[in-house]
């Protein structure tokens, strides 16, 4: 697969190498590296202009990773837990750009929980990825708020707190796109990335991304082995871009659900055992609760709603990117000022 991609050019004539970043300085085997690779692949396969993407991050291992993909995109590595506000401001400069924010579990669920939930509440159109490994890597392995109760780590001892579930928090704040996936399941990750990049609102991707150095023991819910052993996909996913024709003859009738996104692209959801409807928020909440009870890693598109207006839609902005809007037109006339002076005199 990979070699094939390297040789190919996509619909805008770019090669996969045009989407690369710097070499990663994260640990070998870090889940974050797989995610960076899948972002590269997804953007390449979708034929997105790297110059039309803007990358954001907070602080932590996760937040270093925007340097490791899309060198031709602008990026801004902001403050700990405060990437959401940074991205919200920046994306208004030119609302034709796509934003990809990379955060971690500490960055999102500890210091940044407030900004995360408000970003969700505003439905700012961008992709918000949480590289979720349950620990602080850069400061050497403290528990984060997503670490499970009872997790025992060599230096830290036993975690006594119940975890915060990022997908649940997103749902509770009326997110319009919530997916959970696993860095060890690149196929699903890639399809979800494509769907997220096509969503007309805030898309939360809660990605279990194991920390091979501090939290990868078998019994840890953020490890590769636990994920592989307990992953319970709610469906099989396939992203079909707006321009492509859908071929569903491979699948039995009644086993496929289609979710059409705002730009006309479609997510094909193939039933796996259960019949899950990702457009039903109540159902999503219930399913998530059950997953906790059943001790399994539910993955897939948990919830999507492509009808809700996003923050940019609500601002009624001029069509031209605001950062190209002519300066001279930004200043009201002398007459207007005279009128104001009259009003105040």
Partner 1 sequence: MNSKIVNEFCITFCTVNGSGSATANNIILNALFKMGIPVSGKNIFPSNIQGLPTWYSIRVNKNGFLGRVELDDIVISMNPDSIESDIANLSENGVLLYNDQIPLPKSDSKLILYPMPIEKLLTDSQISSSLNIYLANMVYVGVLSWLLNIDLSLIAELLTRHFKEKTTALEMNKKVVEISFLWAKKNLEKKDHYFLERMDVNQGYIMSDGNTAAALGSIFGGVQFIAWYPITPATSLLESLNEYLPLLRKDVDTGKNTFISLQAEDELAAIGMVVGAGWSGLRSMTATSGPGLCLMSEYLGLAYLSEVPLVVWDVQRVGPSTGLPTHTSQGDLTFSYFLSHGDTDFVILLPGSVNECFEFGWKALDLAEELQTPIIVLSDLDLGMNEWMTLAFKYPDQPIQRGKILWEEDLKKLLEKQKNDWGRYQDIDGDGVPYRTVPGNLHPRAAYFTRGTGHDEYAHYSETPEVWERIHQRLKMKIQNSINLIPKPILIKQDKAKIGIISYGSNDPAVLETCYLLSKKTNYCDYLRIRALPFTDDIPDFLVYHEKIFVVEANRDGQMAQLLKMNFNGYGSKIISIAHMDGLSLSAEWILKQIMKIEDAK
Binding site for partner 1 (CB under 8 A): 49-52, 54-55, 66-67, 71-79, 82-94, 96-97, 114-115, 118, 122, 315-319, 321-325, 327-332, 334, 336-337, 340-341, 344-345
> In this complex, which beta carbon is closest to partner 1, that of residue 172 or of residue 296?
172
**121 Cα distance to chain centroid:** 15
**Residues forming beta bridges with residue 238, ordered by sequence position:** 268
Pairing outcome for strands 266-271 and 235-240 = antiparallel
> In this complex, which beta carbon is closest to partner 1, that of residue 110 or of residue 220?
110
256: number of Cβ within 10 Å: 17
Q: Find the shortest distance in angstroms from Cβ 335 to partner 1.
A: 10
**Residues forming beta bridges with residue 101, ordered by sequence position:** 56, 128
DSSP string, 95-141: TTSEEEEEEEHIIIIITTHHHHHHHHHHT-SEEEEEEE-SEETTTT-
**Nearest-angstrom CA–CA distance, 233 and 250:** 20
Q: Find the shortest distance in angstroms from Cβ 96 to partner 1.
A: 7
> In this complex, which beta carbon is closest to partner 1, that of residue 246 or of residue 317?
317
Q: Find the shortest distance in angstroms from Cβ 102 to partner 1.
A: 12
Tokens 């009259």 belong to residue: 342
> In this complex, which beta carbon is closest to partner 1, that of residue 25 or of residue 280?
25
> In this complex, which beta carbon is closest to partner 1, that of residue 119 or of residue 171?
119
> In this complex, which beta carbon is closest to partner 1, that of residue 63 or of residue 306?
63
> In this complex, which beta carbon is closest to partner 1, that of residue 273 or of residue 335?
335
Q: Find the shortest distance in angstroms from Cβ 284 to partner 1.
A: 24
CB of 51 closer than 8 Å to CB of 73: yes
Residue 207, both tokens: 């990605």
Helix pair angle (113-122, 83-90), 10° resolution: 30
> In this complex, which beta carbon is closest to partner 1, that of residue 254 or of residue 326?
326
Q: Find the shortest distance in angstroms from Cβ 56 to partner 1.
A: 8
Handedness of CA 115, 121, 125, 131 (dihedral sign): positive
Q: Find the shortest distance in angstroms from Cβ 23 to partner 1.
A: 12
| Nearest partner of 229 among 241, 238, 220, 240, judged by Cα | 220
Q: Find the shortest distance in angstroms from Cβ 114 to partner 1.
A: 6
> In this complex, which beta carbon is closest to partner 1, that of residue 58 or of residue 278?
58
Q: Find the shortest distance in angstroms from Cβ 116 to partner 1.
A: 11
Residue 218, both tokens: 């078998």
Residue 236, both tokens: 């099989």
| Nearest partner of 97 among 321, 306, 324, judged by Cα | 321
Q: Find the shortest distance in angstroms from Cβ 303 to partner 1.
A: 23
Collapse the DSSP code of 143 into the 3-class scheme (helix H, G, I; strand E, B; otherwise coil) and give the result: strand
Residue 302, both tokens: 């948990």
């Amino acid at each position: 697969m990979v070699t094939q991609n390297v040789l190919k050019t996509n619909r805008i004539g770019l090669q996969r190498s045009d989407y690369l970043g710097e070499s990663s300085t994260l640990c070998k085997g870090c889940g974050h590296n797989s995610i960076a690779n899948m972002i590269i692949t997804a953007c390449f396969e979708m034929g997105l202009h790297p110059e039309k993407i803007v990358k954001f991050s907070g602080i932590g291992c996760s937040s270093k990773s925007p340097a490791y993909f899309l060198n031709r995109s602008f990026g801004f590595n902001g403050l700990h837990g405060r990437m959401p506000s940074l991205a919200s401001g920046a994306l208004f400069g030119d609302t034709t750009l796509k934003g990809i924010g990379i955060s971690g579990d500490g960055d999102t669920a500890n210091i940044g929980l407030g900004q995360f939930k408000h970003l969700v509440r505003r439905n700012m159109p961008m992709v918000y990825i949480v590289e979720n490994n349950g620990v602080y890597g850069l400061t050497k392995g403290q528990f984060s708020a997503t670490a499970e109760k009872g997790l025992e780590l060599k230096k830290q001892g036993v975690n006594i707190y119940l975890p915060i579930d990022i997908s649940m928090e997103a749902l509770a704040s009326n997110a319009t796109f919530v997916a959970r996936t696993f860095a060890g399941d690149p196929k699903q990750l890639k399809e979800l990335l494509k769907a997220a990049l096509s969503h007309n609102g805030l898309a939360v991707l809660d990605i279990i991304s194991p920390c091979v150095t501090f939290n990868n023991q078998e019994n840890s819910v953020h490890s590769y082995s636990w994920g592989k052993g307990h992953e319970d996909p709610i469906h099989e996913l396939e992203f079909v871009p707006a321009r492509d024709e859908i071929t569903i003859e491979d699948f039995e009738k009644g086993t496929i659900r289609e979710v059409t996104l705002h730009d006309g692209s479609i997510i094909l959801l193939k039933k796996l055992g259960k019949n899950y409807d990702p457009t039903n928020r109540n159902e999503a909440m219930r399913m998530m609760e059950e997953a906790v009870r059943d001790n399994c890693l539910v993955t897939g598109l948990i919830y999507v709603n492509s009808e809700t207006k996003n923050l940019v839609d609500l601002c009624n902005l001029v069509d031209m990117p605001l950062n190209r809007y002519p300066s001279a037109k930004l200043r009201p006339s002398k007459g207007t000022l005279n009128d104001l002076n009259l009003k105040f005199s």
